[in-house]
Structure 1
Amino acid sequence: MTIGANYSSGAHPATGGDLVVLGLETSCDETAASVVRLTPGGTATVLSSVVHSQIDDHAAFGGVVPEIAARSHVEMIAGVSERAMAEAGLGYGELDGVAATAGPGLVGGVMVGLSFGKAAALARGLPFVGVNHLEGHAVSARLGAPVAYPFLLLLVSGGHCQLLEVRGIGDMSRLGTTIDDAAGEAFDKIAKAMGLGYPGGPALEKLAASGDGSRFDLPRALLGRKDCDFSFSGLKTAASRLAQACETDQDRADLADAVQSAIARQLAERSERAMKDYAEKHEHRLLVVAGGVAANKTVRSTLEAVAARQSFSFLAPPMAYCTDNAAMIALAGAERLQLGLTSDIDTAARPRWPLDEARALADPVHPAGRKGAKA
């Protein structure tokens, strides 16, 4: 059994022409399928993008239940894929390849999409690519417009928080990571402590719009550190305790605003340090923010301001491609196919799979980005 995707060189399925790829994403609580066309020049066109959300299935539990998620993926994957093909107006015979998330994520869910993708590729004699979910997020900004490599990436979501130098597909190095909780995890757990339900991040953002966070003094982590790492556990603990003392709706709104501002501030502070280091090596200065937290407007505006201060251009994916989706998986797969890279059909699902695996194996402090978990 092959661990990970174990990419190997193969025949280019459409040398010199466009590539049309079906992508599948089942790493958490969305069952998604998408068809993307990629030109030799790097222009990506999303022909379809279908996402079946499981929010209602998990809301009563206050978070994602892995077994429920996996069962839902089994029930939905075939129909979601057929709908994506129908909306693209294509038959399977018009595809140049199939790509599916192979990890990291909830392994039961990953196995569903990975198995379906392999079966679709085998049945039609198509190349198959097992995609790192994080690599999908890394290239997601290229779904909106052609983006030249290299660029500096802030990858920030519920399961991971990293700063990466992205030199190309499969060529990324980590500049900083969270040493405890991810930013999106902090958003969700603080929202849960405030009784805001699931999913917590968007609910907290909505409540913060009517708040004044200046009345709360929340901790600022890792001040004075010369690296680009993050820490959100102290903020999460302090805000959760304050939530217990909130008596009115305005108290909760003010705390929500304070939390949102504190998370955005730390993301900006650490990103600014990375920008200074990055600028010493590269003339092309672009900061890309991707992942579910990139949909937060306060986070976006704060990062955009600090990028401008450092003379960096700023780019985030279209809102539809910030959270988990299959278009980013299809694009990552297509970029690998352009390089003639395919995956073995016995590629295994991985609950953990860091983008910079060599460094992760050599790093005893935070080997996989966040407690050795998704990143």
Structure 2
Amino acid sequence: MTQGVDVVVIGGGQAGLAAGYHLRRLGLSFVILDAQATPGGAWQHTWDSLHLFSPAAHSSLPGRLMPPQPGETYPDAAHVVDYLTDYEQRYELPVVRPVRVEAVLRDGQFLRVETDSGTWRARAVTSATGTWSRPFIPAIPGRAEFEGRQLHTVEYRRASDFAGQRVVVVGDGNSGAQIAADLAHDTDLTWVTLREPRYLADDIDGRALFDAATARRRALDEGRTDTGGVASLGDIVAVPPVREARDAGLLKAQPMFDRLTAGAVAWADGTRAEADVIIWCTGFRPALAHLAPLGLRGPRGHIPTRGTEALGEPRLHLLGYGDWTGPASATLIGVGRPARDAARQIAGLLGAV
């Protein structure tokens, strides 16, 4: 059975919901197909101690401020899941789940969206699948030889699972710093980074990061000098647990090791750190396999875009994958503007405005 709408939104996390909000305001017919069984996107799968970088009021989707979490300046992931669940219900967004999109194909004047539970025909598609489902682990010599446990950020839940163990955390970004701080008190921790950790000033939070990303995008669009954006400020937001562990001398980063052995990580100078567990906080890649039939992939696995519009297919918009699909578009506060722009462009393409 094939169903038809103006727009299919693929992904029911924060980016998909923001897209739905603006599509509804423009009067377009649409459906949001979400592979998750329940609302909340990737936030329902994060580690227990994760908190936002910004207060609730500065972590909101369009149209609905996130309420503060009692007793917390920076809301935790469970609070974000509750907020996204309420947002979806408040705006009666047509989310269908669980539905896994397998392929998007051209079908004359339509795009055909094939799923594990039927086919949709749409005049436009917004892909908002994010990156959480595509964790990246680098190819390090000896990885197959290591006899301990290896896991990625997506599999980490709580420090108590590793109490008393020798744990190596790999990663110089926010996830690496936060998970290292989480583990610093109850494990024999080795924190490994590609370069010396660069902490942002202690008073900087997500609001400043969004402003920096927006200023960079504006400068590039106007042909001015690249401001460097968030990267110019540092790599790690010093949220309270990270700041406390750092100031207590518990976060001392080691340079990246050269290989793994059966029970350790090893450096070229012969130094070793025995390890029971390695946690790879090494980032993600965009989840775009469903778009492969369109033949749009460019460098680094990205699809070239102008704003959110795919350059090789104007009926396709990509939302929420990072700055290449809109300044800070992978954040709650940042996704609203590119979602609005994408919805307006789609409406214009379809002759709805």
- Fold shared by both chains (TM-score > 0.5): no
Name the TM-score class by shorter chain. Answer: under 0.3
Judging by fraction of residues, say which structure has more helix. Answer: 1
**TM-score using structure 1 length:** 0.25
RCO higher in structure (CA 8 A, sep ≥6): 1
Structure-2-length-normalised TM-score: 0.27
- Higher radius of gyration, 1 or 2: 2
